[in-house]
Amino acid sequence: MGSVSLKPGDGTARFKRSTLCSSAVNILMLFSVLATNLFALDVFTYSAKHYTITPFHHKNITLISQHVSLIIKQIDSSQKKLARIENQLLGYETLNVSRPNLANELKLFLQHHHLPLGKDSRTGITEMVASVGHSCEKSADLLSQYMSYKVSGPCPDDWSLAQKLILRGCESLPRRRCFAKTVPKVGLSTWSGLGCKNIKCLNKKPNGFAFDRQKYVKATSKNDFLIDNVLAMGNNGIRIGFDIGKGSKTGTFAALMAEKNVTIITNTLNVDAPYSDFIAARGLFPLFLSLDHRFPFYDNVFDLIHVTSGFDVGTKPEKLEFDKMDGAVGSGKHEVYLSAVLQKPVRI
């Protein structure tokens, strides 16, 4: 072996004999290549002998897939069962219109009715959905009885049935296509189940509708709050209010506030007597809803909320706990009455 050197300007190539150093380097490179190839061959041969990969059989893969599918089905079934139990506890299942002996009017009411002119441009809705309380599912038989009437005829005298549904949480009640009865004569009423047919007769009853005009006007104890005092707290800014509770059933508070040019809406139920009719006969506005219902009013529209023994009587005692009060008045006292005026702070 030799090397070639080119010198500029000569025009010829001249060979020089290789030196001993260059030959040794070439031999060393050749030996390195051979050693590397032999080492790699030995490594791959050794791995193939000692690490034999066991192949998966098709039968094993199928068995694993079946187990995975079974686990997924069990999880899906458990989730559906849990959702069904939650719906039953909450009473959130929709009414089943396919059940037998269900009134046709109720089936018609629960249907989705498409808008005659198509999609509404302002709200975006295309159909009207029935509004009925979700707890009505638990009282489907009573609800079907309530909806069994003659269309375009007089409404049945079943206010007690309607109230029974409301007290069971079935509110709001479905609308009915019938006409309410009219009072045949001024001063009379169509109250069913009662011997009296006018207010004068009811006022003579021991537990009737007698009302005290001095209530909320003249103090009977140091804990009483009078109407004039409460209105003074509002700096003459009280114009509309809401009356809730057992003590509001006759509308006395609303009537006295009307004399002060304050409009009061009274919430009441016809428990044992037609209180709604009585309040309306006084020229006041009764609201026929239970306390568990969300009242159909916008937030912050009322200047005054009047509550009288409405949250602890006839409901679960957990709504108001009087542990400390019971200890103060003694175990022989069954009821505790509190008087308070709570003023809502200004929030910006």
Distance CA 322, CA 329 (A): 10
Residue 223 class from Cβ within 10 Å (0-12 exposed, 13-18 middle, 19+ buried)? exposed
Residue 122 and residue 148 in contact, taking contact as beta carbons nearer than 8 Å: no
pLDDT in tens, 109-144: 877 778 888 888 888 888 877 777 777 878 888 988
* Residue 186 pLDDT greater than 70, yes or no: no
* Residue 202 pLDDT greater than 80, yes or no: no
Q: Tell how far CA 76 is from the center of its chain.
A: 25
141-158: b or e for each residue (b if 16 or more CB lie within 10 Å)? Answer: ebbbbbbebeeeeeebee
Domain boundaries, the chain: 104-167, 212-329
Question: Is 235 in a helix, a strand, or coil?
Answer: coil
pLDDT in tens, 254-267: 888 898 899 999 88
Q: Percent of the chain, pLDDT > 70?
A: 62
Q: What is the per-residue pLDDT for 97?
A: 67
Backbone angles phi, psi at 325, to 5 degrees: -65, -40
Q: How confident is the model at residue 189 (pLDDT cuts 50, 70, 90)?
A: low
Distance CA 165, CA 140 (A): 10
Q: How confident is the model at residue 324 (pLDDT cuts 50, 70, 90)?
A: very low
Regarding beta strands 13-17 and 2-6, do their DSSP bridges make them parallel or antiparallel, or are they unpaired?
Answer: antiparallel
pLDDT in tens, 51-64: 454 555 566 777 77
Tokens for 247? 């003590």
Query: Which of 264, 337, 276, 336 lies closest to 306 in space, CA to CA?
Result: 264
Q: Averaging pLDDT over each range in 144-153, 205-214, 232-241, which range is the top one?
A: 144-153
Q: What is the per-residue pLDDT for 328?
A: 45
Query: What pTM did the predictor assign?
Result: 0.56
Q: How confident is the model at residue 322 (pLDDT cuts 50, 70, 90)?
A: very low
Q: Which residue has the higher pLDDT, 4 or 238?
A: 238
Element (H, E) at 307: strand 304-308
Question: Is 263 in a helix, a strand, or coil?
Answer: strand
Q: Averaging pLDDT over each range in 131-140, 217-226, 255-264, 318-327, which range is the top one?
A: 255-264
Pick the CATH number of 212-329 from 2.120.10, 2.30.30, 3.40.50, 1.10.490: 3.40.50
Apex 146 CA angle, 140 and 147, nearest 5: 90
Q: What is the per-residue pLDDT for 66?
A: 81
* Residue 164 pLDDT greater than 80, yes or no: yes
SS3 content of the chain, % helix, strand, coil (to 5): 40, 10, 50
Residues linked to residue 265 through DSSP beta bridges, in sequence order: 242, 285
Mean residue pLDDT across the chain: 72
